[in-house]
Amino acid sequence: MKIKSRRGDRCYWKCSTRNCPATVNTHNNIPTKVDANHNHPSDRMQLRVDDVLQRMKSRCKDELTAIPTIYEEELVKLRDREWNDDTHQLVEHIPTFYSCKDQLYNERHKLIPALPTTVEDITVDGEWAQTTTGQPFLLADDNTNGRMLVFSTQENLYHLAAADTIYCDGTFYVCPTLFYQLYTFHAKVDGTMFPLVYCFLPGKDQQIITWIYLDSLDLISIVLLQHNPT
Ligand SMILES: [Zn+2]
């Protein structure tokens, strides 16, 4: 609050936020009239709102979860807490997704490069060629018959090599638009089916699939030799 006017021992205070109608009158520093109808959140509330936004921003940087989902999930977490006037107010003061989405997307783009627009623009190197635990993940990056990327880990290949049946299938719906299909190799590990190799393919050409299959078999035989030296 700041002093608006003074008359003898009486003071007339107004909120220090511009255009806020909240006022307090005091007599010898004792409040005589309090009109606390602030048109903005309190500083304390603002700190808590900032705290929630900060949490959303960190998640945008640390995870690949869709940004609208992160926003929703953080709001739900607030609603899941004990519901009282305090939490109610906090939720009311969180900016709408529309008004904070730019900040959130900026945060994500600090660490994640913009999506490539052509297959030639795709660069898979450094941490992008590794799993989250730092294992090599990019198995093949080939451009002989169009760009083709194959991802798997050494451990996945061991499992593939150990399996007596390998299931292969192409899917078109979840495939990034720059590729024609996502072709996966599945096998059972301890009785549960797992996807073990992911291939982004430029076409539906049988040859591509065969090439990958042969190449993978080649890798499997190498892995088998390492795994089971007889
Ligand atoms: Zn105010």
Find the 161 Cα to ligand 1 centroid distance in Å.
69
Find the 35 Cα to ligand 1 centroid distance in Å.
10
Average pLDDT over residues 156-163: 85
What rounded mean pLDDT belongs to the chain? Answer: 84
Provide the pLDDT for residue 209.
65
Find the 98 Cα to ligand 1 centroid distance in Å.
25
- Higher model confidence: residue 131 or residue 36? 131
Residue type, 143: N
Binned at pLDDT 50, 70 and 90, residue 146 comes out as: confident
Provide the pLDDT for residue 227.
43
Find the 34 Cα to ligand 1 centroid distance in Å.
12
- pTM value surpassing 0.75: no
- Give me the phi and psi of 115, to 5 degrees please: -65, 140
Average pLDDT over residues 177-186: 88
- Give me the phi and psi of 24, to 5 degrees please: -140, 135
10 Å Cβ neighbour count for 192? 6
